[in-house]
Structure 1
């Protein structure tokens, strides 16, 4: 499998069917400039369309930061030149910060491996992940209000649906940093590990639990979660989900038959790459 070329990211396959995306801007605490935002969106598009990829891990290099958010130096230069950055397509794609924080169509599970600062857009990306694993030293936060801007890349809406009104208000209105343990208390982090633990290996433990299952079932289940979050009615979300192209691919896929046969015959299933979708559904 040929991985895409990338300027701002390191890409690898640490385990079969698992794509590891490492933000590689350590001097900038892995903050993303506009070019990196668009590049990561293209990488995620590729992963969504590649049948061999069943799960994605996102992390940052350097041991100090997962992602410190937007590269404000570049943003300030753009604003000085008259570019209207916030909310425009100039700094990030429609899929949001890193092409992840406001991504609607998504079937592949994403795990955030956080070691250090995850601030602003870094927190927004982490909140868009299915699983978050973080070291004890890690810090989360949405400090946008301290810079005179707001949380406009999708993270605020995700946060408001994930925690209470008072908790989202505290996080978004104070702009302060939160420890990994605090975010776990709010059910925003799945696991906190010691600082000397290899965060990639900790994330791979979760990835292996996911890819041990049918990829067809994984993809249709994540898509159902996304629809349930996006739609006002649970009944409408379920009906749309079961009539989607994703559901058709799952019902027609070989892995459904394989899973049922393996269960009936008391053997381990032999999962295969799912067949590509005939067309993409839209959220």
Structure 2
């Protein structure tokens, strides 16, 4: 697929793959919109009990959101903010658990996706970080997502240090054989059944949030609008994406 988001559903389990090697597994407006569509497709498939989110690019999970589309480099896409908002809504509102498989770098919005998955399976070389502030960018949506699952202190450390942290037991199941761990999770969900798994997810969604989600999303939307303005005016850059 040209947007680099691949979706497969088999035996009640979905696989969503970010496969954008030429873009360093960054998510531009089209990829974000495609990820939102994939999540909504799974949401509407009542017989799907879980999704596995993984990368098709060696050594990187996801490098974050890219303001510019490939056909218009150096300029923030008009579709970036609405695509990011749609992705946030689909991700935060899902009623199925997501297992993230992280074998490499998860950065920026990619780190937020990984660390707000319901189960995180990581290899020893996995790492998570929010480098944006080092280039004058405030990671609005990453902060909003992370605060639904993690403490304010933890999110502050990621934001203000701008340095990645390695995979550790309080964030992920760390394994040299992540596929074996993922298979065990998927088989467990299959044995429980989609109805019960989704009921548990809905209850967790209702109880778990550390912040009021609509308020968090509005603050994030206001923040990203400001960041796109600063980017277009040359006051911030996205060199942290490594492109």
TM-score scaled by length of structure 2: 0.76
Higher mean C-alpha deviation, range 32-41 or range 202-211:
202-211
Q: Residue 41 of structure 1: CA displacement?
A: 0.4
**C-alpha contact 1:22 1:61 (8 A) present in aligned 2:** yes
Give the alignment partner of residue 174 of structure 1, picking from 144, 149, 161.
161
Please tell me whether residue 105 in structure 1 is matched to residue 93 in structure 2: yes
User: CA separation of 1:46/1:162 partners in 2, compared to 1, >3 Å: closer, same or farther?
Assistant: closer
Please tell me whether residue 207 in structure 1 is matched to residue 186 in structure 2: yes
Q: What whole-Å deviation, never above 9, does each CA across 1:181-208 have from its counterpart, x for those lacking one?
A: 2xx3xx222x0012xx3x3443222121
Please tell me whether residue 50 in structure 1 is matched to residue 45 in structure 2: yes
In 2, Cα distance between equivalents of 1:175 and 1:160? 17
**RMSD of aligned alpha carbons:** 2.8
User: CA separation of 1:160/1:215 partners in 2, compared to 1, >3 Å: closer, same or farther?
Assistant: same
Match of 2:7 in 1: 11
Q: Which has the higher contact order (CA 8 A, sep 6+)?
A: 2
Q: What whole-Å deviation, never above 9, does each CA across 1:154-197 have from its counterpart, x for those lacking one?
A: x323434544443322111111011012xx3xx222x0012xx3
User: CA separation of 1:201/1:36 partners in 2, compared to 1, >3 Å: closer, same or farther?
Assistant: farther
Match of 1:143 in 2: 131
Uncovered stretches (5+) of structure 1, i.e. residues with no partner:
234-283
Q: What whole-Å deviation, never above 9, does each CA across 1:79-116 have from its counterpart, x for those lacking one?
A: 636x5677x31x523332xx65xx34221111101111
Match of 1:193 in 2: 175
**C-alpha contact 1:41 1:93 (8 A) present in aligned 2:** no
User: CA separation of 1:150/1:48 partners in 2, compared to 1, >3 Å: closer, same or farther?
Assistant: same
Q: What whole-Å deviation, never above 9, does each CA across 1:229-278 have from its counterpart, x for those lacking one?
A: 34889xxxxxxxxxxxxxxxxxxxxxxxxxxxxxxxxxxxxxxxxxxxxx
In 2, Cα distance between equivalents of 1:143 and 1:213? 39
User: CA separation of 1:22/1:95 partners in 2, compared to 1, >3 Å: closer, same or farther?
Assistant: closer
Q: Residue 51 of structure 1: CA displacement?
A: 2.3
Match of 1:123 in 2: 111
Q: What whole-Å deviation, never above 9, does each CA across 1:124-150 have from its counterpart, x for those lacking one?
A: 111221000011001101112112112
Uncovered stretches (5+) of structure 2, i.e. residues with no partner:
213-243
Match of 1:227 in 2: 206
Which has the larger Rg?
1
**C-alpha contact 2:7 2:38 (8 A) present in aligned 1:** no
Equivalences, count: 212
Higher mean C-alpha deviation, range 163-172 or range 108-117:
163-172
SS of the equivalent of 2:6 reads: strand
SS of the equivalent of 2:153 reads: helix
